[in-house]
């Protein structure tokens, strides 16, 4: 069951002939065994995006030198790129308000080793979930909001102290300010409890009930300065009917929210998501 260590290369650049040949030739020359490769060309934008995962074992360079060796090729093709290794565990912070179902779900998945990451801390503007976090062995920080800027400053300091790599808003019902957003571009994932762009903003289940829709949804997206407008990573839906009250929708929605958020977090941690033009390419 112990997987071999892999490296994952994520890149995007203007589309040109010779790109695929260039990358695969580089990897071949260095002895890399590719185990997954996927690519996408946005023809309208003339943009090429690729994900290549290969075994480190057999590569003729130390991992620390791989990036450097890839540099010239990347430069030639004007690439934005990143290289990650499967044994470098990333540190995740969960932010949560009153409703704990997404937090429970992620903690339970983490304990069952479904998430390739370390959940480093839980931050909440409420004291309610301290005991749950303790049970899962995760430090819990209660940072109530008296002054918004002050609280956000405290949150940001914690994230930095703890070397957090990914911030997950697990039903955190506060809007984050620019300092945190700027510090974690494409690294803050939120779960919105509607099928965006329908029912953005507050009380989406009430809105859905009022409108009489026959299907409700949930959306996981990266957070940007525009509320509920960031790049969508994953969505899913469930059928409702006139029999469903708002409370029933909330309950059905919880199951969606948990699954959709967990999928998005896993896709991110497995380096399967690339962002461009406020959209995502998900190599799943």
* Binding positions for its own copies, rule: CB under 8 A: 17-18, 20-21, 24-25, 27-28, 31-43, 58, 100-101, 104-105, 108, 112, 114, 135, 195-199, 211-215, 217, 231-237, 239, 241-243, 245, 251, 254-255, 259, 262, 278-282, 284
DSSP string across the chain:
-PPPPEEEEEEEEE--TTHHHHHHHHHHHTT-EEEEEEEEEETTTTEEEEEEEEESTT-SS-HHHHHHHHHHHHHHTT-EEEEEETTSPEEEEEEE-S--HHHHHHHHHHHTT-SSEEEEEEEESSSTTHHHHHHTT--EEE---SSHHHHHHHHHHHHHHTT--EEEESS--SPPPHHHHHHSTT-EEEEESS-TTTT-SS-HHHHHHHHT-SEEEEEEEE--SSTT-SPEEEEEEEE--TT--HHHHHHHHHHHHHHHHHHHHHHHHTT-EEEETTEEEE--
CB of 68 to its own copies, least distance (A): 21
CB of 4 to its own copies, least distance (A): 11
For the question of residue 284 being annotated catalytic, the response is no
Cβ closest to its own copies, residue 134 vs residue 157? 134
Cβ closest to its own copies, residue 157 vs residue 214? 214
Name the active-site residue from 78, 178, 186, 228. Answer: 228
CB of 279 to its own copies, least distance (A): 3
Cβ closest to its own copies, residue 54 vs residue 184? 54
Cβ closest to its own copies, residue 40 vs residue 187? 40
Cβ closest to its own copies, residue 45 vs residue 78? 45
CB of 122 to its own copies, least distance (A): 15
Give the 3-state secondary structure of 149-218.
HHHHHHHHHHHHHCCCCEEEECCCCCCCCHHHHHHCCCCEEEEECCCCCCCCCCCHHHHHHHHCCCEEEE
CB of 129 to its own copies, least distance (A): 11
- Catalytic sites, residue numbers: 228
């Amino acid at each position: 069951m112990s997987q071999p260590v892999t490296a994952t290369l994520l890149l995007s650049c203007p589309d040109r002939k010779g790109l695929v040949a260039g990358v695969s030739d580089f990897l071949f020359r260095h002895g890399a065994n590719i185990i997954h490769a996927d690519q996408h060309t946005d023809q309208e934008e003339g943009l090429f995006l690729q994900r290549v995962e290969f075994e480190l074992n057999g590569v003729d360079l130390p991992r620390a030198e791989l990036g450097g060796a890839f540099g010239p090729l990347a430069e030639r093709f004007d690439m934005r790129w990143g290289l990650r290794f499967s044994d470098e565990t990333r540190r995740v912070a969960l932010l949560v308000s009153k409703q704990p179902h997404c937090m429970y779900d992620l903690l339970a998945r983490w304990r069952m080793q479904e998430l390739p990451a370390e959940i480093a801390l839980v931050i909440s503007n409420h004291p309610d979930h301290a005991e749950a976090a303790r049970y899962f062995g995760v430090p819990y920080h209660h940072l109530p909001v008296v002054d918004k800027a002050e609280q956000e400053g405290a949150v940001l300091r914690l994230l930095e102290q703890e070397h957090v790599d990914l911030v997950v808003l697990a039903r955190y019902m506060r809007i984050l300010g620019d300092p945190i957003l700027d510090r974690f571009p494409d690294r803050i994932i939120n779960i919105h409890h509607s099928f965006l762009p329908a029912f953005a903003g507050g009380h989406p289940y009430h809105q859905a009930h009022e409108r009489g829709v026959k299907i409700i949804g949930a959306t996981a997206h990266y957070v940007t300065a525009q509320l509920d407008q960031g790049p969508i990573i994953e969505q899913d839906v469930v059928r409702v009917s006139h029999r469903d009250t708002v409370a029933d929708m909330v309950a059905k929605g919880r199951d969606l929210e948990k699954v959709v958020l967990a999928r998005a977090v896993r896709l991110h941690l497995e380096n399967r998501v690339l962002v461009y033009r406020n959209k995502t390419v998900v190599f799943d």
